[in-house]
């Protein structure tokens, strides 16, 4: 495998927009052929939150780069500041709220190349 297959440029990466913000997918089975990682950057707009969801096939680590988030895992929640990381075990319901005045930007990593997501509320239309 040549190194070119291991590099994703900005043009290769996939941006997905939601009513609460964006995710830019940077590495995954689709992008580099990996079966062991999915990596993205998520931006949650001020006053917004994603839908409560679970990843039945993988753990997730969310490293907050800037801003602030309140993040739930199961029945508990924690306030995150820039530099903090939360590890979400496989199958745990979780959700993030940006209650601050600036965008919250985080790197998200999953231990599979093909992450799956299921929403706690079946009517949820966001990831």
- What is the residue extent of each domain of the chain? 51-61+77-95
**pTM of this structure:** 0.92
pLDDT in tens, 26-69: 999 999 999 999 999 999 999 999 999 999 999 999 999 999 99
- Which residues, at least 6 apart from 42, have a Cβ–Cβ distance to it below 8 Å? 21, 22, 23, 62, 105, 106, 108
Q: What's residue 2's pLDDT?
A: 84
């Amino acid at each position: 495998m040549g190194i070119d297959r291991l590099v994703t440029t900005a043009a290769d990466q996939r941006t997905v927009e939601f009513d609460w913000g964006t995710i830019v997918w940077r590495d995954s089975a689709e992008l580099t052929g990996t079966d062991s990682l999915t990596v993205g950057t998520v931006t949650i707009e001020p006053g917004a939150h994603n839908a409560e969801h679970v990843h039945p096939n993988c753990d997730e680590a969310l490293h907050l780069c800037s801003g602030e988030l309140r993040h739930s895992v199961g029945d508990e929640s924690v306030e995150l500041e820039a530099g903090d990381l939360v590890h979400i075990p496989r199958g745990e319901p979780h959700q993030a709220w940006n209650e601050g005045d600036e965008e919250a930007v985080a790197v998200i990593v999953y231990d599979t190349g093909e992450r799956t997501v299921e929403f706690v509320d079946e009517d949820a239309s966001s990831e």
